[in-house]
C-alpha cells in the first residue's frame, strides 16, 4: 500500500472517553434488547439490533476515524464528518428503538431509584413531548445547520477543540430530535397525520440545498482556516469547498428525500399503514427474588477463598514479606527508597490496602501477618483471661492511632527503614503478648490501630461478611458461627452473624463461613455505607451511634486523613519548618479542632431545630457519616503515591474526593431524616455537618492541587 494512504488510514483519534461511552451504551442496549426480545421477539428484531450497531459505528467513524483527523485540513473531510453525524448515525440509532432497551438494560436501582422520579414527572414528560414535536424538531435542525455554517461559528469550531466538540454535539442532538418523529420512536405517540412527515423532510432538504449551493458556487473561500491550511496533494481551497458543497447537496438530499419517498409509498399502499406506531405493551414481569452477588460463589475467586488453608497461606505470604521488611530495615541500606522497609509498608501496602477496601472489604486483616505467630503459640497454650471490661472500647486504639499519625511526621517514619523495622517487630510482640494473656482476638478488637483503620473504612466497602438467608439462621440452635465447633473455631471478635452490623470489627477471617454447618454465610454485595445509617444494636459492637469511643476514633481517622496528606504538601511543610511546632499542630489538628468543630455542629443542630435525640447520639450519628469523606481522602492520597500517573492523578483524586463528599452528604441527610420530625428540621439539623463536610472537601481539593512530596518512592 502507498505509505501516504497507509498513514491516512492509521490516523485514528479514538479517545478513551468516546470508546468507553460507546461501549457502555452498546452494552446497555444489548442487555435490554436481549431481555425485551425474550418478551417481544417480533418487535425487537435482529434488524433493530443491527441498525443500532450501525448507528454506533457511524457515530464513532465521524468522531474518531481519519475523517475527524483530516477535518482541519480539508473541508471535504469535515463535511463527511458532519453528514455522518446528521444523516447516518442518529437515524440508524433511532431505528434501533433504543429508549426501552437502554432503560431495561440499566441496573434496576438506577432505573427505579435514580431515574424513576424523573421518568414519572409529568412536567418532564410534557417537555419531552414538546421537544420532539415536528415543528420544534425541524426548527432545531434547520437552526443548528444554518448557525454552525456561518463563518464566525465555523471558524470558532476550527480554532478551538472544545468548541468543535460543542458543534458536533449540537449536530448530533439536533439530528436525533429531527429524526425522532420520522422514525416514530417508542414510547411516544405517533405523529398524525403521518403524511406530514413528507413535507417535513422535503422542507429540510430545501434548507440543506440552499446551504450546499452557497458552498458549491461561492467564489471566495468562505472559511479562512481552510485558506490558511496546507493544501494536501495540491487540492485548492476553492475546489475543496466546492467538493464539500456537492457532498452536502447530493448525499444530503438523498438522506432527506429517500425516507420521504418511502413514507409516501407506504401511505399510498391500499390499506397500508406505516410500521409500528405505538409503544409495544410490555408483559408484566414476575417479581424477581433479589440475590446479592456473593464473592464466595464466584467461579474461581470463590473457590480460592473457600479453600480451607487459604487464610494461612495468605498470612504466610504476608509474614514472609514482613520478615523481609524487618531484615532489610535492620540490615539493609538506610535510604528509604532503596529499602523494603521504606517502600513496601509506606507506599505499596497502604495503597493496595485502601484499593482493596474500596473494591472488596477488609482484605488486609484477612491476611494479617501479626496474628499468625499468635495462632501458632495458642496451639501450645491457651490464654486464660478475658480482656478487662473497663478497657472494652476503642479508646486505646484511638490514642495509638493519633500517636502514630503524630509520630509518622515527627520522626519521619517513611524515611527511617530501621525505625520502621522496629515498629514491625514491636507490633508482632504486642500482638503476641496481648493475645497470649487474653482470650479471643483482643488485640485486633481493642488495641490494633491498623485494624481500626480497616474496621472503620470497611463500612463503606461494597462487600460484607453476612448471612445469606435470615430464615435459615432462625432455625439454627447451635450458633456455630460464634461458638464454633470441634473442627472450627467461631468468631473471635464475638460477632454473631444474624445480628452483625456491617463490617465494623470484622476481620474477614471467614471462621464463621467455615463454622456454619448450613453454609449460610457469604461475602455478599451490600450498599456501601449502609451500616453508617442503621440505628440498631449490632452483635459485639452495640449501637454505633451511641458509642463515643467510636466517634472519637472516626474523628481522628477523618481529620487524620487530611492532616496526613496536607503534611506532605510543600506549603504546609515550609510553614512547619518555620514554626517548629509539630506536636502542638498535631494536637490541635487531630484532637482539639475536630472536638471543637463537632461540638459546635452538635450545638447548632440541637439549638436550631431541637431534634428528639440526645446530644451524644446526635454527635455520634453525624460523626459516623464523615467516614466516606475521610476514606476518600486516604484513598486519594495513597493511590497518588501508589500510581503516580502524570496528568491522571488530579482527576482521579478529585473523583474520589467528590464521591466521598456525596456519600457523606447523603448519609448526613439520611441520619438527619431519622433524628428529625420533618423535612425542614432535617435540613436544619444536617446543615452544620454538611458545612463541615464541605469544608473538609475544600481542604482536600486544595491538597490535590499542591505539590506533594513523593515519600518512600522507589528511586528510578
Partner 1 sequence: MKNLTLLILACLWQSTAFADGGAVQLRSEAGGLAITVFTTPAPLTAGPIDVSLLLQDRDSLKPVLDADVSLLLRSRSTNCEIRATASHGQATNKLLYAAPLMLTESGAWQIAVSVLRNGKRAEIGGTIEVLPAPQMAASYWGYVAFPPLAIVGFAVREFLLRRRLKPKVRSCGIT
* Residue ranges binding partner 1 (CB under 8 A): 3-4, 6-8, 10-13, 15-18, 20-21, 24, 69-70, 72-73, 107, 109-110, 113-114, 117-118, 120-121, 159-161, 228-234, 527-529, 647-648, 650-652, 654-655, 658-659, 661-663, 665-666, 670, 673-674, 676-679, 682, 697, 701, 705
- The smaller minimum CB distance to partner 1, of residues 338 and 662, is found at 662
Residue 530 CB, shortest distance to partner 1, in Å, is 9
- Closest to 375 (Cα-Cα) out of 220, 489, 522, 281: 489
Q: Are 81 and 172 in contact (CB under 8 A)?
A: no
- The smaller minimum CB distance to partner 1, of residues 60 and 663, is found at 663
- The smaller minimum CB distance to partner 1, of residues 212 and 625, is found at 625
Residue 316 CB, shortest distance to partner 1, in Å, is 34
Q: For 30-33, which contacts have Cβ atoms below 8 Å and span 24 or more sequence positions?
A: 30/101, 30/105, 31/101, 31/104, 31/105, 32/100, 32/101, 32/102, 32/103, 32/104, 32/105, 32/106, 33/101, 33/105
Residue 196 CB, shortest distance to partner 1, in Å, is 34
Residue appearing with cell numbers 451500616 = 531
Residue 712 CB, shortest distance to partner 1, in Å, is 25
**Going by DSSP bridges, is the β-strand pair 463-467/521-525 parallel, antiparallel, or unpaired?**
antiparallel
What is the spatial distance between Cα 686 and Cα 673, in angstroms, rounded to a whole number? 9
- The smaller minimum CB distance to partner 1, of residues 141 and 690, is found at 690
Residues whose CB falls within 8 Å of the CB of residue 509, separated by 6 or more in sequence, listed in order: 311, 365, 366, 491, 492
- The smaller minimum CB distance to partner 1, of residues 240 and 480, is found at 240
Q: Is 284 left (phi over 0), alpha (psi -120 to 50) or beta?
A: beta
Residue 73 CB, shortest distance to partner 1, in Å, is 8
What is the spatial distance between Cα 85 and Cα 175, in angstroms, rounded to a whole number? 8
Residue 645 CB, shortest distance to partner 1, in Å, is 11
What is the spatial distance between Cα 56 and Cα 92, in angstroms, rounded to a whole number? 8
- The smaller minimum CB distance to partner 1, of residues 331 and 705, is found at 705
Residue 666 CB, shortest distance to partner 1, in Å, is 5
Residues whose CB falls within 8 Å of the CB of residue 451, separated by 6 or more in sequence, listed in order: 365, 368, 397, 444, 445, 507
**Around 642, how many Cα atoms within 13 Å sit in the side-chain half-sphere?**
18
- The smaller minimum CB distance to partner 1, of residues 15 and 599, is found at 15
DSSP state of 567: T
The phi and psi torsions of 185 (rounded to 5 degrees) equal -80, 140
Residue 522 has which C-alpha cell? Answer: 457469604
Q: Are 553 and 495 in contact (CB under 8 A)?
A: no
Residue 109 CB, shortest distance to partner 1, in Å, is 5
DSSP state of 134: H
DSSP three-state, residue 538? strand
- The smaller minimum CB distance to partner 1, of residues 537 and 680, is found at 680
- The smaller minimum CB distance to partner 1, of residues 20 and 199, is found at 20
Q: Give the dihedral of Cα atoms 637, 638, 641, 647; nearest 10 deg.
A: -50
Nearest 5 degrees, angle CA 117-CA 120-CA 122?
120
- The smaller minimum CB distance to partner 1, of residues 2 and 269, is found at 2
Residues whose CB falls within 8 Å of the CB of residue 232, separated by 6 or more in sequence, listed in order: 70, 73, 74
- The smaller minimum CB distance to partner 1, of residues 113 and 469, is found at 113
- Closest to 554 (Cα-Cα) out of 395, 331, 317, 436: 395
Residue 400 CB, shortest distance to partner 1, in Å, is 32
- The smaller minimum CB distance to partner 1, of residues 8 and 282, is found at 8
Residue 705 CB, shortest distance to partner 1, in Å, is 5
Residue 52 CB, shortest distance to partner 1, in Å, is 20
- The smaller minimum CB distance to partner 1, of residues 104 and 489, is found at 104
Residue 140 CB, shortest distance to partner 1, in Å, is 24
Q: For 579-584, which contacts have Cβ atoms below 8 Å and span 24 or more sequence positions?
A: 582/406, 582/409, 582/410, 583/406, 583/410
Residue 330 CB, shortest distance to partner 1, in Å, is 41
Residue 632 CB, shortest distance to partner 1, in Å, is 10
Nearest 5 degrees, angle CA 165-CA 168-CA 173?
125
Pinpoint the alpha helices (H) of 184-217: 197-217
- The smaller minimum CB distance to partner 1, of residues 345 and 528, is found at 528
Amino acid at each position: 500500500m502507498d505509505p501516504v494512504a497507509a498513514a491516512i488510514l492509521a490516523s485514528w483519534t479514538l479517545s478513551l472517553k468516546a470508546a468507553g461511552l460507546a461501549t457502555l451504551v452498546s452494552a446497555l442496549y444489548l442487555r435490554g434488547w436481549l431481555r425485551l426480545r425474550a418478551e417481544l421477539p417480533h418487535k425487537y428484531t435482529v434488524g433493530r439490533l443491527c441498525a443500532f450497531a450501525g448507528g454506533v459505528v457511524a457515530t464513532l467513524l465521524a468522531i474518531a476515524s481519519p475523517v475527524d483527523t483530516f477535518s482541519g485540513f480539508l473541508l471535504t473531510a469535515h463535511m463527511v464528518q458532519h453528514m455522518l453525524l446528521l444523516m447516518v448515525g442518529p437515524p440508524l440509532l433511532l431505528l434501533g428503538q433504543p429508549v426501552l432497551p437502554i432503560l431495561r438494560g440499566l441496573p434496576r436501582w438506577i432505573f427505579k431509584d435514580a431515574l424513576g422520579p424523573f421518568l414519572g414527572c409529568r412536567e418532564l414528560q410534557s417537555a419531552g413531548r414538546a421537544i420532539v414535536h415536528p415543528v420544534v424538531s425541524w426548527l432545531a435542525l434547520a437552526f443548528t445547520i444554518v448557525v454552525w455554517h456561518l463563518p464566525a461559528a465555523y471558524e470558532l469550531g476550527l480554532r478551538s477543540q472544545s468548541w468543535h466538540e460543542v458543534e458536533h454535539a449540537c449536530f448530533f442532538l439536533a439530528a436525533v430530535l429531527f429524526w425522532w418523529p420520522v422514525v416514530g420512536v417508542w414510547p411516544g405517540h405517533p405523529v398524525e397525520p403521518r403524511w406530514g412527515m413528507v413535507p417535513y423532510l422535503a422542507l429540510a432538504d430545501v434548507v440543506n440545498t440552499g446551504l450546499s449551493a452557497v458552498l458549491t458556487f461561492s467564489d471566495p473561500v468562505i472559511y479562512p482556516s481552510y485558506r490558511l491550511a496546507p493544501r494536501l496533494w495540491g487540492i485548492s481551497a476553492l475546489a475543496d469547498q466546492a467538493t464539500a458543497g456537492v457532498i452536502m447537496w447530493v448525499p444530503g438530499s438523498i438522506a432527506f428525500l429517500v425516507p420521504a419517498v418511502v413514507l409516501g409509498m407506504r401511505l399510498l399502499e391500499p390499506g397500508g399503514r406505516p410500521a409500528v406506531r405505538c409503544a409495544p405493551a410490555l408483559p408484566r414481569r414476575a417479581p424477581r427474588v433479589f440475590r446479592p452477588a456473593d464473592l464466595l460463589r464466584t467461579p474461581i475467586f470463590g473457590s480460592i477463598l473457600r479453600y480451607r488453608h487459604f487464610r494461612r497461606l495468605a498470612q504466610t505470604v504476608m509474614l514472609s514479606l514482613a520478615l523481609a521488611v524487618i531484615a532489610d530495615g535492620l540490615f539493609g541500606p538506610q535510604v528509604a527508597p532503596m529499602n523494603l522497609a521504606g517502600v513496601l509498608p509506606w507506599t505499596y501496602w497502604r495503597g493496595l490496602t485502601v484499593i482493596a477496601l474500596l473494591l472488596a472489604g477488609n482484605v488486609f486483616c484477612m491476611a494479617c501477618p501479626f496474628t499468625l505467630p499468635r495462632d501458632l503459640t495458642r496451639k501450645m497454650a491457651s490464654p486464660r483471661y478475658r480482656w478487662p471490661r473497663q478497657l472494652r472500647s476503642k479508646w486505646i486504639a484511638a490514642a495509638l492511632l493519633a500517636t502514630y499519625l503524630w509520630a509518622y511526621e515527627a520522626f519521619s517514619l517513611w524515611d527511617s527503614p530501621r525505625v520502621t523495622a522496629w515498629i514491625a517487630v514491636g507490633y508482632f510482640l504486642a500482638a503476641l503478648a496481648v493475645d497470649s494473656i487474653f482470650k479471643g482476638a483482643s488485640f485486633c478488637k481493642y488495641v490494633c490501630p491498623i485494624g481500626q483503620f480497616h474496621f472503620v473504612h470497611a463500612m463503606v466497602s461494597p462487600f460484607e461478611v453476612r448471612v445469606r438467608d435470615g430464615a435459615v439462621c432462625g432455625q439454627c440452635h447451635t450458633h456455630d458461627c460464634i461458638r464454633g465447633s470441634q473442627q472450627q473455631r467461631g468468631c473471635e471478635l464475638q460477632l454473631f452473624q444474624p445480628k452483625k452490623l456491617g463490617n465494623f470489627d470484622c476481620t474477614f477471617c471467614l471462621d464463621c463461613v467455615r463454622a456454619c454447618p448450613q453454609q449460610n454465610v457469604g461475602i455478599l454485595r451490600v450498599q456501601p455505607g449502609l451500616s453508617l445509617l442503621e440505628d440498631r444494636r449490632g452483635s459485639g459492637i452495640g449501637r454505633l451511634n451511641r458509642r463515643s469511643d467510636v466517634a472519637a476514633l472516626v474523628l481522628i481517622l477523618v481529620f487524620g486523613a487530611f492532616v496526613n496528606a496536607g503534611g506532605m504538601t510543600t506549603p504546609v511543610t515550609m510553614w512547619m519548618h518555620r514554626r517548629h511546632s509539630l506536636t502542638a499542630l498535631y494536637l490541635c489538628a487531630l484532637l482539639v479542632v475536630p472536638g471543637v468543630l463537632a461540638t459546635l455542629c452538635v450545638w447548632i443542630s440541637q439549638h436550631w431545630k431541637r431534634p428528639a435525640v440526645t446530644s451524644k447520639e446526635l454527635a455520634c450519628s453525624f460523626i459516623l457519616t464523615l467516614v466516606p469523606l475521610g476514606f476518600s481522602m486516604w484513598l486519594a492520597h495513597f493511590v497518588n503515591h501508589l500510581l503516580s500517573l502524570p496528568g491522571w492523578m488530579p482527576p482521579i483524586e478529585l473523583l474520589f474526593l467528590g464521591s466521598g463528599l456525596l456519600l457523606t452528604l447523603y448519609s448526613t441527610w439520611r441520619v438527619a431524616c431519622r433524628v428529625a420530625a420533618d423535612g425542614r428540621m432535617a435540613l436544619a439539623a444536617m446543615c452544620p455537618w454538611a458545612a463541615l463536610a464541605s469544608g473538609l472537601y475544600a481542604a482536600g481539593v486544595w491538597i490535590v492541587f499542591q505539590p506533594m512530596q513523593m515519600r518512600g518512592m522507589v528511586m528510578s
